[in-house]
Amino acid sequence: MKKIKINSFAILAFVVTFIFTTFNANANQTRENVIKRGSVNCGVSQGVPGFSNADASGKWAGIDVDFCRAVAAAILGDANKVKFTPLSAKDRFEVLKAGDIDVLARNTTWTLSRDGGLALDFIGTNFYDGQGFMVRKAANINSAKKLNNVKVCVETGTTTELNLRDYFKANKLQYEPVAFTKSDEAVAAYDSGRCDVYTTDKSGLAANRTKTKNPADHIILPETISKEPLGPVVRGNDENWANITRWTLNVMIEAEELGVTKANVDSLKSTDNPAIKRLLGLEGETGKNLSLGNEWSYNIIKQVGNYGESYEANVGPKTPVGLARGLNQLWTKGGILYSPPVR
């Protein structure tokens, strides 16, 4: 009997190793696969204003979309060689793990359990989000600290709901949550007067304000009650690929810091500034360290632009999403965006 047990255990062990080795067959090959395929497969949302969305002609846009385009520019030299796959919040990580996509840029919050528990790597933060509140101007509330005995419209089953509870508990304030499954319902209920407050991530507050009957009647309170760093994700078994994507994002931030834009990148090729020379790959061997050509960073800036350009075009104050830079400003200008040196 004992012998049989050992045998079956050995078989099991063999099967498990076999499965794991076949699983890992894809490790460290993402870059090669992308080059062979001629396109970057990018997982995006099923429609989040300003982050990833399509227009009526089927063209994708948003800051997450720009990131994917930048990755394609870096590797393939053409920002248009991206294939977008819309994913739901529920299946996004599994699709990435299964290898259907190369990078997930789907306004995903970076948390310890996701980074450590899922065999995935968050490669940085391309948007610092956080939960905020919207109230009616007529209510004369100018700070979240003054929210007491209010009805709050919130989406159920999200961290938003939990943050809300924590905030009111910590500040010893009374509130009554009114929960909805969809943001459209929550906003409509708030607009019709069923709640005094509407809460969601700040990136969504301004966009949702445009859905009310009279957007000018509502204000967004200054407080941010939670940390939601949103960033792109890749599989955890490919160091080279993680580096390529991480430095793609860093190059976009560094380019803004150095004042390199889509428009002036060509004229700056003749600059004497060593930092810009390194950024554009005219000096040093930044590309080689990532197994890329030295044009990689130039292609990103030329074809997609720097971080600030992408921000202003997709979520900035001039767009319907209407978000001021806030935390997403460069560290030199009062924000927390900071790229390690590109050298």
Partner 1 sequence: MNKENIKNWLKVNLFSNWYNSIISLFVLLIILSIIPSLIDWAIIKATFVGKTKSDCKAGGACWVFISVWFEKLIYGFYPDKQLWRVNLAFIILILTITSAFFVKPKIKPYILFFLIFIFPIIGFVLIHGGFGLENVETRVWGGLSLTFMLTFFGIIFAFPLGVLLALGKRSELPVIKYFCIAFVEFWRGIPLITVLFAAAIMFPLLLPANTNVDKLLRVAIGIGIFESAYVAEVIRGGLQSLPKGQYEAAKSLGMSYWKMNFLVILPQAIKTVIPGLTNTFIALFKDTPLIILVGLLELLGMVNLAKSNSYWLGMAVEGYIFVGLIFWFFSYLLSRYTQSLEKKFSTEKH
Whole-Å CA distances, 210 to 120, 219, 320: 36, 11, 7
Candidates 78, 81, 95, 139; binder of partner 1 (CB under 8 A) is 95
| CB burial of residue 9 (10 Å; 0-12, 13-18, 19+) | exposed
Nearest approach, Cβ of 192 to partner 1 (angstroms)? 13
Q: Does 181 bind partner 1 (CB under 8 A)?
A: no
Helix (H, G, I), strand (E, B) or coil at 52: strand
Total residues binding partner 1 (CB under 8 A): 38
Q: Does 211 bind partner 1 (CB under 8 A)?
A: yes
Q: Does 80 bind partner 1 (CB under 8 A)?
A: no
Looking at the Cβ atoms of 94 and 285, the one nearer to partner 1 is: 94
Looking at the Cβ atoms of 26 and 243, the one nearer to partner 1 is: 26
Candidates 1, 2, 3, 55; binder of partner 1 (CB under 8 A) is 55
Helix (H, G, I), strand (E, B) or coil at 213: coil
162: DSSP letter: H
Burial string for 271-301 (b: 16+ CB within 10 Å, else e) reads beeebbbbbbbbeeebbeebebeeebbbbbb
Candidates 135, 207, 301, 327; binder of partner 1 (CB under 8 A) is 207
Q: Does 109 bind partner 1 (CB under 8 A)?
A: no
Q: Give the Cα separation of 226 and 301 in Å (integer).
A: 32
Looking at the Cβ atoms of 29 and 271, the one nearer to partner 1 is: 29
Question: How many other C-beta atoms are found inside a 10 Å radius of the C-beta of residue 28?
Answer: 12
Looking at the Cβ atoms of 86 and 293, the one nearer to partner 1 is: 86
Looking at the Cβ atoms of 282 and 313, the one nearer to partner 1 is: 313
Please answer whether residues 114 and 120 qualify as being in contact, where contact means their C-beta atoms are separated by less than 8 angstroms. Answer: yes
Q: Does 318 bind partner 1 (CB under 8 A)?
A: no
216: DSSP letter: G
Cα–Cα nearest to 240, from 19, 93, 26:
26
44: DSSP letter: E
* Span interacting with partner 1, options 85-93, 135-143, 263-271, 276-284, rule CB under 8 A: 85-93
Six-digit token pair at 35? 């080059």
Q: Does 94 bind partner 1 (CB under 8 A)?
A: yes
Q: Does 83 bind partner 1 (CB under 8 A)?
A: yes
Looking at the Cβ atoms of 101 and 300, the one nearer to partner 1 is: 101
Q: Does 216 bind partner 1 (CB under 8 A)?
A: no
β-partners of residue 197 are 135, 152
Looking at the Cβ atoms of 261 and 319, the one nearer to partner 1 is: 319
Cα–Cα nearest to 223, from 210, 207, 208, 205:
205
Q: Does 99 bind partner 1 (CB under 8 A)?
A: yes
Write the interaction track for partner 1 spanning residues 4-43; mark x where CB under 8 A is met and - where it is not. ------------------xxxxx-----------------
Q: Give the Cα separation of 131 and 47 in Å (integer).
A: 19
Candidates 78, 81, 85, 115; binder of partner 1 (CB under 8 A) is 85
Question: How many other C-beta atoms are found inside a 10 Å radius of the C-beta of residue 189?
Answer: 17
Q: Interface with partner 1 by CB under 8 A: which residues?
A: 22-26, 46-50, 53-56, 58, 83, 85-88, 90-92, 94-95, 97-100, 184, 207-208, 210-211, 314, 319-321
